[in-house]
Structure 1
Amino acid sequence: MSSLLTNSSAMTALQTLRSIGKNLSVTQNRIATGERVSEAMDNPAYWSISVGMKAQNKVLSTVKDSLGLGQAILDTTYTALADAIIHATEALGKYVALETDGIDTAAVTAEIVQRKARIVEIARAAQFEGQNLLRTGGTAVDIVSGYIKGGGGVQTLTLSPYDLEAAAAGITSVATAQTTLDALKTAAAEFGAMKMRVESQTSFTSQQMDAIDRGIGQLIDADMNAESAHLSALQVQQQLGIQALSIANASSQNILTLFRGG
């Protein structure tokens, strides 16, 4: 039945066109943002999980920065100790040389003094952003090494100091020079082991962040190939819907021809 007051065909076509327009808007938003879940209304569960994972990655980024600071401090300390070991080794050799008859003891002693002074200079200069683990009075440095959500909280590593200045002052003979050299090697080994640990933790944190990013992508990223194909299909449907609405509206106009004079 044809009616001038109610055009059922046009109403149906308009509803279909509205539905197509809504789907088209969603698809265009996905293509623009690259996300199929960009707000809570898209998928509350996935959106909530992704927000939590993004927050965790922010925390891990801070952890990584802290580990980077610790690594820089350890690099500085380890490099300084390696240089100090060279001078301590030379000082030990000079003390041994003093046992040789006829040697210029004044010259050898002067060199020993300079070697010890150089070790002290190294200790005082071995700082990074004000943190120095080798000078007299140096304090331990705590760095954030991890974060466990829901249990454990913030994890820290403590970088303990070693008094290199006092060690240099203790070099007074062959025996003490040997003892100091052994102590320096032990300290260097400990700092080297800690340096390896921090580097390993930094690498793990980076891998952990990458894994979380991939997990977030699985939850909210849009399949751009599928969305592109869907967009093309919706655009065609929209054109057909507009044409169907036009035809439906034209049917009412056709009724008028029944009342026109022939």
Structure 2
Amino acid sequence: MSSILTNNGAMVALQSLQSINKNLADTQNLISTGKSVSSAKDNAAVWAISKVMEADVKGFKGIADSLALGESTVAVARQASETVTDLLTQIKGKIVAAQEENVDRAKIQTDVTALRDQISAVVGAAQFNGLNLLSNTSTTAGSGNVEILSSLDRSGSGVAVSNITVNKQDLGQQEQVIGTTAVGTLANFITGTPGAVTGASTAAARTITFETGVTAGTGYRVTLSTAVGTATLGTGGGDFTPTAGVYEYVARDGDTSADVARALSTLINGGDANAVSSSVGATDANGDTGLTLNFDATTDGVTFAIAAFTSAGATVGGGLSRLSQLDVTTDTAADTALAEIESLIQTSVDSAAAFGSVEGRIETQSKFIGGLMDSLKSGIGTLVDANMEEASARLQALQVQQQLGVQSLSIANQAPQSILSLFR
């Protein structure tokens, strides 16, 4: 039956054409944006996931910048530490030359002073963007290390950041100043039994222990003294009186009980090793570290005492503070300087090694972050990017369908006109 009121063919053709036009518009939008999911209405779940991943990529870009800055800062410190090591090695050569009797020690001392001043200049210039990792003399808690943002860690409970900790070293020559106020309870800082060494039978090792919880600015003191006219050591090469000594160390930020023990051990061993030497013992279950004083077997009359002082009025000393005391103008001083320079070289070597290790870690992390960002971008593309080959083929097909739809609607609209011939 034909009707001039209802054209079913035209309605079907119109619906088809409208559907084709909608699909064509979607395909054209896909081609223009390059995305199959360009908004939440396209696919809410995929869009939400992609946006979270895009936010992470932005975060990792900031982390990459932080790592680049940190790597440059550490590289400057490492280079400076290596330079200081080279300069200290040159000083050692001068000190060795001064061991000869027929050399001009005054001129050698001038060279040593010049090299020492150059070390000071290198350390002072070893900063990047205002941060000098070779200076660690502040008593403020947390000043002894620098945190470099290294990662963004996402989990089911939220997002957290990870850091690479760079511990400052100190190659300055600032002299330390110990505080004058004794701590309230010595046992909270140092435990042990001070006393006298009174003969071969009791001249064994004596151990004192430094407690955990070391804070910057706290001063530690070990005093070795001799009773007047009684302390002599028999060494087979003649008797002599051991030199009394006051050995002090002001803790820097980040120091542990082991660091305190090692620092005092180094100071004590720099003295007359025939009289007394020291060694750092193992850390016990509480984390405390012992310092063992090893007296000569025939020592008699040597007394030792321990003390600790608060940070009030204290100044943390530089890692190379003893460099200013090197003197090669006399036989005795040249011998002492040779023993000292070995310790100073080891300090600078340890600093360079520490910075080199951290620099390598930062470099590895930078490469990882770069690769991770590439992977995230690829993953986002897999989720939301359009398949352009498929889109091109679909566009061609829809354009043909559109033309056919228009023609079909035209034919359907012409159908009622055939009824006019029936009335002629």
Range class of TM-score, shorter chain: over 0.9
What is the TM-score of this pair, normalised by structure 2? 0.59
Q: Residue in 2 aligned with 1:148?
A: 153
Q: Distance in 2 between matches of 1:168 and 1:196?
A: 26
Q: Residue in 2 aligned with 1:61?
A: 61
> Does residue 157 of structure 1 match 2:164?
yes
8 Å CA contact 2:37–2:46 kept in 1: the answer is yes
Q: Residue in 2 aligned with 1:27?
A: 27
> Does residue 230 of structure 1 match 2:230?
no
Q: Could you tell me which runs of 5 or more consecutive residues in structure 2 were left unpaired when the two chains were aligned.
A: 173-317, 327-336
Q: Residue in 1 aligned with 2:38?
A: 38
- Deviation larger for 37-46 or 148-157: 148-157
Q: Deviations over 1:22-45 (max 9, x none)?
A: 111111111111111111111111
8 Å CA contact 2:85–2:349 kept in 1: the answer is yes
> Does residue 218 of structure 1 match 2:382?
yes
Q: Distance in 2 between matches of 1:16 and 1:258?
A: 30
Q: Distance in 2 between matches of 1:253 and 1:101?
A: 130
The percent identity for this pair of structures is 40
Which structure's residues are more often helix, by fraction?
A: 1
8 Å CA contact 1:76–1:126 kept in 2: the answer is yes
8 Å CA contact 2:87–2:119 kept in 1: the answer is yes
8 Å CA contact 1:24–1:235 kept in 2: the answer is yes
Give the match's secondary structure for 2:119. helix
Q: Cα distance, 1:225 vs. partner?
A: 0.5
Letter in 1 for 2:150: S
Say which structure, 1 or 2, has more relative contact order (CA 8 Å, 6+ apart).
1
Q: Cα distance, 1:136 vs. partner?
A: 5.0
Q: Distance in 1 between matches of 2:103 and 2:94?
A: 11
Letter in 2 for 1:207: G
Q: Residue in 1 aligned with 2:233?
A: none
Q: Distance in 1 between matches of 2:344 and 2:14?
A: 90
Give the match's secondary structure for 1:71. helix
Q: Residue in 2 aligned with 1:78?
A: 78
Q: Which structure 2 residues correspond to residues 1-262 of structure 1 after superposition, within 5 A?
A: 1-135=1-135, 137=137, 139=143, 140-150=145-155, 153-165=160-172, 166-171=318-323, 172=326, 173-259=337-423
Q: Deviations over 1:105-155 (max 9, x none)?
A: 222211111111111111111111111111353642111111211357111
Q: Could you tell me which runs of 5 or more consecutive residues in structure 1 were left unpaired when the two chains were aligned.
A: none
- Deviation larger for 139-148 or 223-232: 139-148
8 Å CA contact 2:136–2:168 kept in 1: the answer is no
Q: Deviations over 1:150-199 (max 9, x none)?
A: 35711112211111112444222122111111111111111111111111
Q: Cα distance, 1:257 vs. partner?
A: 4.3
Q: Cα distance, 1:92 vs. partner?
A: 1.0
8 Å CA contact 1:38–1:220 kept in 2: the answer is yes
What is the TM-score of this pair, normalised by structure 1? 0.93
8 Å CA contact 1:119–1:168 kept in 2: the answer is no
Letter in 2 for 1:156: N
Letter in 1 for 2:356: G
RMSD: 1.6
Letter in 1 for 2:162: Q
8 Å CA contact 1:116–1:168 kept in 2: the answer is no
- Deviation larger for 58-67 or 82-91: 58-67
Q: Distance in 1 between matches of 2:417 and 2:100?
A: 124
Which structure's residues are more often strand, by fraction?
A: 2
Q: Deviations over 1:202-244 (max 9, x none)?
A: 1111111111112111111111111111111111111111111
